[in-house]
Amino acid sequence: MVFIADYGAGNLHSVNKALEFLGVKTVVSSDPAELSDYRKVLVPGVGAFGPAMESFQRSGFGEALLEHIDKGRHVLGICLGMQLLFTESHEMGVHQGLNVVEGEVKLFDAPDDKVPQIGWNSVDVTGESELFKGIDDHTFFYFVHSYYCEPCNQSDIAATTFFAGKNFCSAIEKNGIFAVQFHPEKSSDAGLQVLKNFAKC
């Protein structure tokens, strides 16, 4: 069973449909008090960091998610949901994140005609990975983003992707904390495998 956090800034319906297609039971809820009943939570997200973080904290999911992680339970952040897990973002000012992954969210330093990254790009897995089991290295996934995550600790990086002249962190694995910058629910069979792996881990 996967709990999908509805905090007002997520593409939760497409993610929910993808998990249902895989036969994974889900619950979509805007009540953070219910999170304590579940071992896995998925944090989707689209939009800007600041308003999303404000909505996440105002809804009570910020505190609930930190308690969830402290219990050793699993979380999967997708796209903006990945970025919210970081220490801070530099999107239209400086905004504090949840700080469960030390690092910053930065704008790609590239010409305006290249940003945002929209479309398919390959993902290079950095080592043993629970999230990418059964998935070939250099597999393509679907991205939509202008900002990328830069962790302080290289050991937190599960995969990288090349865009705008740099290899950026496109996936995180850290003590039950999983996150991906791409959209698995829009990434065909490989994306479904990522969701399946999270549900099984």
For the annotated catalytic residues, the residue numbers are 79, 183, 185
Q: What's the 3-state SS for the chain? A: CEEEECCCCCCHHHHHHHHHHCCCCEEEECCHHHHHHCCEEEECCCCCHHHHHHHHHHCCHHHHHHHHHHCCCEEEEECHHHHCCEEEECCCCCEECCCCEEEEEEECCCCCCCCCEEEEEEEEECCCCCCCCCCCCCEEEEEEECEEEEECCHHHEEEEEEECCEEEEEEEEECCEEEECCCHHHCHHHHHHHHHHHHHC
